[in-house]
Structure 1
């Protein structure tokens, strides 16, 4: 049996992180079901304080997922969820964004312009990569 995978990432602002990572990966922010959210509030299963308006859409306040494009979607997703504390130490797990031939210097510049920080350059044999931090400080590599 094969399983799909959801990676959950703690975030100060899950919607901003989801937007940033969806753009970075060429993925899509998972659409909100406003009718469902309103029905949960109306039925008393949630309150208005559990929601917010993000980019003109009613969403759940404490989480936002992103998905790969339709043509490669397998049920896997990344969920950004609110955490009470901010990031304080190095991640034990990080993402390697494999560029498939795109220029990593160009991508580094574009990511820095969107709020990422360059941390260091690594090498192993003929391979090299840049370790970066996203706008909330989570480490990732581009290679």
Structure 2
């Protein structure tokens, strides 16, 4: 017997706001919503697809009354796929992310940001195929 990782659940005050932020970050769409809950993902899960193999999990935002009080024990890492890391960080800041210090120190290869409700996430190295710009001749 085995299980599949199918959803990552995030407690929050405003599920609609966080779902919109993360849809813009990850190019996901809203799959389902009900009172106090929004689920987003990159694909529409079916029982058959999940049983057939590992698939990317969806992200579910659930409204809770309490606020975030300490550093997350679990966080997401994202990697830009069509821009360099600096440009992606600038885009995410424009979407409402903020830079945060969680003790990562100055010599790091990633950038720590927080979503609009303060949940930390890391922006890692770019996966863009060619981010080197040739200087003009």
Tell me the distance in 2 between the aligned counterparts of 1:129 and 1:75.
Answer: 23
The within-5 A match list for 1:47-58 is: none
Give how far 1:5 is off.
2.0
Q: Secondary structure at the match of 2:87?
A: helix
Which structure dedicates a bigger proportion of its chain to strand? 1
- For 1:7-86, list aligned pairs within 5 A: 7-30=8-31, 32=32, 59-69=33-43, 74=55, 76-86=57-67
* 1:17 partner SS: helix
* Mapped partners of 1:69, 1:23: distance in 2: 15
How high is the TM-score relative to the length of structure 2? 0.71
Structure 1 equivalent of residue 73 of structure 2? 92
Q: Determine the structure 2 residue equivalent to 1:53.
A: none
Change (3 A) 1:97 1:75: closer
The TM-score, its normalising length taken from structure 1, stands at: 0.68
Gaps of 5+ in 2: 45-49, 125-137
Distance in 2 between residues matched to 1:2 and 1:10, nearest whole Å: 23
Go from structure 1 to structure 2 and tell me whether the alpha carbon gap of 1:106 and 1:64 turns closer, same or farther (over 3 Å shift): same
Runs of at least 5 residues in structure 1 that lack an aligned partner in the other structure? 33-58
The Cα shift of 1:134 comes to: 0.5
Q: Match of 1:130? A: 111
2:127 is matched with none
RMSD of aligned Cα (Å) = 2.3
How far apart, in 2, do the equivalents of 1:136 and 1:66 lie? 17
Q: 1:75 to 1:116 in 2, by over 3 A?
A: closer
Task: Count residues with an aligned counterpart.
Answer: 112
CA distance in 2, matches of 1:100, 1:106: 11
Kindly indicate which of the two structures has a greater share of residues assigned to helix.
1
Indicate the residue corresponding to 1:106 in structure 2. 87
